[in-house]
């Protein structure tokens, strides 16, 4: 991907993130996610209806990578069936962790395909996906 | 000053993370290597040549510390660092001597190590923690402290220099006030002992904690200095070898006298020897000279960044070499990552002062903390990078 386009997508999602702002509704399940290795600190809320992720929201303070990844992940996951969402999440994590992954499943998340070049930022990219993963796990139980 | 003494500075880095830890001069590395290469041995009870050398160096470190901060050498306890020292004060001394309802004065710009142990003690025995309000420039003054003192105030606990704001607290006056009012004065010297002259006796300090690694020494070792009668009435946090005279089947035991009683187990011997060398090294340069020079560096930085309109500095007026700042609209960690691109090492975060957000209104800052081995070119490089920060996302993304 062209570097300028990549930067543009990340910045757009950093400066005006999708679904930023929590709505304190008891139908949502909530989780706080912060990293041991950096200062990212995000809260997530999620609602699943009839096995479909009907909404995810987030808020907090985090770096450009973490915030934009939260925004793009939410765009990619809302409206998906839970199992499909898990597949997208796993595929995304595989990409960040330098394992084999399916480009077709990524959508805009492909902008993070070179994050492995900055190992200290992998955790930033994984913070939102790990949080959403945990929320799904909790709701599936 | 003295840049040639620091092997790390031979690479092209600007090291401004001295509030977190400092670089080590060759002489400190040498004495520690010498211990490992030539006279490795445990302390005490050794009857062979290597152990005699080790013991002499180890024991002499107390004398070096004592004369550096004006304290009795046998009232200087080796610990693993400031965090352990502060925990020893709270759980070894205060837990035994305070009772429910007793008040301890803290403030919101203290490091976690001088807040969390107190919160835990409050949970355990019901002491009351009161936070002295900070001034509009986030500094802590004796006037505000006095306003919070009641007849129940038993302890005032504070950092001599706070690690984000960098204000130098007037410990002489506060110490005198404490001693007149029968209040225990507990000082976290982690950010001050490395940078400024500290006089334990003259300042009426009851307990003083500091870490070697923030003053050119090794990690994993530090000091708790206490008044003799307080240390003698402190319970050890750790029990084991080296600190007892005897123990018997009927549960009777006798502990050694201070400071050994408070130093169970094999200590970080190389660390203690390295710490002694580091203190000798700083003493030779002169603490007043170090403090003056750091203030000059900070002033030089402030003068140079005057025209950077999107730079927010939170502690222009504080009297130490610590500068906390943000670029408007940029997350602190993104700024730190950007500066790393120019080999400028700073720290981003809340710097373990998680409550300061209540007063300062933001969670995270970038902190550049200067030391004597930084020079004006280092500051120029930081200023230049900050001036060009409109390119930040081109560089970090």
User: Using CA atoms, how far apart are residues B19 and B43, in angstroms rounded to an integer?
Assistant: 31
- Describe chain B by its helix, strand, coil percentages, rounded to 5: 45, 15, 40
Q: Identify the closest residue of chain B to A10 by CA–CA distance.
A: B397
* B237-271 pLDDT tens trace: 999 999 999 999 999 999 999 999 999 999 999 99
Q: What integer pLDDT is reported at residue A24 of this predicted model?
A: 86
Q: How many domains does chain A have?
A: 1
Q: Identify the closest residue of chain B to A113 by CA–CA distance.
A: B397
Q: Which of B110, B68, B71 is nearest to B90 (CA)?
A: B110
- Describe chain A by its helix, strand, coil percentages, rounded to 5: 55, 20, 25
- φ, ψ of residue B253 to 5 degrees: the values are -155, 160
Q: Which of A125, A140, A137 is nearest to A31 (CA)?
A: A137
pLDDT for residue B352 is more than 80: no
- φ, ψ of residue B381 to 5 degrees: the values are -65, -40
Q: Which domains does chain B have, with CATH numbers?
A: 3-23+287-396 (3.90.1150.10), 26-284 (3.40.640.10)
* B368-379 pLDDT tens trace: 999 999 999 999
Percentage, residues of chain B above pLDDT 90 = 93
pLDDT for residue A141 is more than 70: no
- Confidence grade of residue B151 (pLDDT, cut at 50, 70, 90): very high
- φ, ψ of residue B151 to 5 degrees: the values are -70, -15
Q: Which of B334, B388, B290, B381 is nearest to B16 (CA)?
A: B381
pLDDT for residue B273 is more than 80: yes
Q: Which of B333, B394, B396 sits opposite A39 (nearest CB)?
A: B333
Q: What is the mean pLDDT of residues A122-126?
A: 93
CATH number of the domain to which A66 belongs:
3.90.1010.10
* A17-65 pLDDT tens trace: 999 999 989 999 999 998 877 788 999 999 999 999 999 999 999 999 9
Q: What is the mean pLDDT of residues B179-196?
A: 98
Q: Which of B319, B342, B86, B320 is nearest to B225 (CA)?
A: B86
pLDDT for residue B351 is more than 80: no
CA distance B330 to chain A (A): 8
Q: What is the largest CA-CA distance in chain A?
A: 42
Residue matched to tokens 């290795």: A37
Told to judge if B352 belongs to the known catalytic residues of this protein, a careful annotator would answer: yes
Q: What is the mean pLDDT of residues B351-372?
A: 86
Q: What integer pLDDT is reported at residue B94 of this predicted model?
A: 98
Mean per-residue pLDDT of chain B: 96
Q: Identify the closest residue of chain A to B329 by CA–CA distance.
A: A15
Of chain B, the end-to-end C-alpha distance in Å amounts to 36
Check CB contact of B392 with chain A, cutoff 8 Å. Answer: no
Q: What is the mean pLDDT of residues B258-285?
A: 97
Percentage, residues of chain A above pLDDT 70 = 99
Q: How far is CA A89 from CA A33, A60, A71, A73, in A?
A: 16, 21, 14, 8
Q: What integer pLDDT is reported at residue B230 of this predicted model?
A: 98
Tell me which of B164, B330, B331 to substitute to probe the interface with A (most A C-beta atoms closer than 10 Å). B331
Token pair in block for residue A126: 């994984």
Q: How far is CA A126 from CA A2, A34, A65, B71, in A?
A: 23, 11, 9, 50
Note down the domain range covering A52: 3-140
By the 8 A CB rule, do A57 and A30 touch? Answer: no
């Amino acid at each position: 991907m062209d570097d300028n386009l990549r930067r543009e997508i990340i910045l757009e999602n950093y400066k005006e993130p999708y679904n930023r702002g929590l709505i304190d509704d008891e139908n949502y399940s909530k989780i706080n996610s912060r990293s041991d290795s950096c200062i990212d600190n995000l809260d997530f809320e999620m609602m699943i209806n009839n096995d479909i992720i009907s909404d995810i929201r987030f808020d907090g303070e985090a770096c450009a990578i973490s915030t934009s990844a939260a925004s793009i992940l939410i765009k990619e996951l809302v409206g998906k069936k839970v199992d499909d969402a898990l597949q997208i999440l796993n595929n995304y994590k595989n990409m960040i962790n330098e394992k084999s992954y399916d480009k077709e499943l990524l959508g805009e998340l492909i902008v993070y395909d070179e994050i492995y070049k900055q190992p200290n930022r992998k955790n930033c990219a994984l913070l939102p996906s790990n949080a959403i993963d945990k929320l799904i796990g909790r709701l599936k139980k | 000053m003295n840049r040639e003494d620091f092997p790390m500075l031979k690479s092209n880095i600007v090291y401004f993370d001295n509030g977190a830890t400092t670089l080590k001069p060759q002489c400190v590395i040498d004495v520690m290597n010498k211990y490992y290469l030539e006279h490795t041995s445990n302390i005490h009870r050794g009857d062979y040549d290597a152990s005699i050398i080790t013991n002499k160096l180890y024991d002499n470190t107390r004398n070096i510390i004592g004369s550096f901060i004006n304290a009795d050498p046998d009232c200087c306890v080796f610990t693993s660092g400031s965090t352990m020292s502060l925990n020893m004060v709270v759980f070894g001394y205060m837990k035994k001597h305070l009772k429910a309802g007793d008040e301890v004065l803290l403030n919101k710009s203290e490091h976690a190590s001088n807040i969390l142990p107190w919160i835990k003690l409050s949970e355990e025995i019901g002491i009351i923690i009161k936070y002295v309000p900070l001034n509009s420039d986030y500094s802590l003054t004796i006037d505000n402290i006095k306003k919070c003192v009641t007849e129940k105030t038993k302890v005032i606990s504070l950092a001599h220099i706070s690690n984000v704001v960098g204000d130098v607290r007037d410990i002489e006056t506060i110490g005198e006030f404490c001693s007149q009012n029968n209040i225990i004065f507990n000082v976290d010297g982690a950010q001050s002992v490395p940078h400024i002259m500290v006089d334990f006796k003259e300042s009426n300090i009851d307990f003083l904690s500091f870490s070697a690694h923030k003053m050119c020494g090794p990690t994993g070792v530090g000091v708790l200095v206490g008044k003799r009668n307080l240390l003698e009435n402190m319970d050890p946090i750790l029990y084991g070898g080296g600190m007892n005279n005897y123990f018997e089947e009927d549960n009777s035991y006798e502990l050694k006298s201070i400071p050994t009683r408070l130093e169970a187990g094999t200590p970080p011997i190389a660390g203690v020897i390295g710490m002694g060398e580091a203190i000798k090294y700083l003493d030779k340069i002169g603490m007043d000279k170090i403090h003056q020079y750091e203030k000059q560096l900070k002033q030089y930085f402030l003068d140079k960044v005057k025209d950077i309109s999107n730079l927010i500095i939170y502690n222009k007026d504080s009297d130490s070499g610590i500068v906390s700042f943000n670029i408007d609209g940029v997350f602190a960690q993104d700024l730190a990552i950007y500066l790393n691109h120019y080999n400028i090492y700073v720290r981003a975060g809340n710097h373990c002062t998680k409550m300061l957000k209540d007063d300062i209104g933001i969670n995270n800052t970038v902190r550049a903390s200067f030391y004597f081995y930084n020079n004006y070119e280092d500051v120029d490089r930081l200023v230049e990078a900050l001036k060009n920060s409109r390119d930040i996302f081109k560089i970090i993304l």
